[in-house]
């Protein structure tokens, strides 16, 4: 059988949870600022992240799940452009 043991002891490393980094918020944008970031906004604060945050509620409502294959393609394109948001798995 050799010297290999298939039963390994469970680690008693009690500080494992301390090694997990705290998750920072996806966006530090205020809700009031997000409201101003319409898709056609050209102001300096209208970044892709801000525009994605502005359109996310409408996209989330229409794309989870999408009504048809054509809309599914549009939804996938939006989620590819806005990777800070994830589609609901369905």
Domains in the chain: boundaries: 30-81
Mean of per-residue pLDDT scores for the chain: 81
Are 86 and 79 in contact, with CB atoms under 8 Å apart?
yes
Q: Say yes or no to pLDDT of 26 above 80.
A: no
pLDDT interval class at 88 (50, 70, 90): confident
Q: Could you give the CA distance from residue 88 to residue 75 in angstroms, rounded to a whole number?
A: 11
Q: Could you give the CA distance from residue 7 to residue 45 in angstroms, rounded to a whole number?
A: 56
The pLDDT assigned to 19 comes to 54
């Amino acid at each position: 059988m050799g010297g290999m043991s298939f039963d390994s002891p469970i680690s008693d490393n009690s500080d494992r949870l301390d090694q997990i980094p705290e998750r920072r918020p996806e966006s530090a944008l205020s809700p009031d600022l997000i409201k101003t970031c319409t898709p056609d906004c050209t102001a300096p604060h209208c970044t892709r992240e801000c525009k994605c945050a502005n359109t996310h509620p409408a996209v989330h409502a229409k794309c989870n799940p999408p009504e048809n294959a054509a809309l599914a393609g549009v939804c996938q394109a939006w989620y590819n452009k806005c990777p800070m948001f994830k589609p609901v798995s369905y």
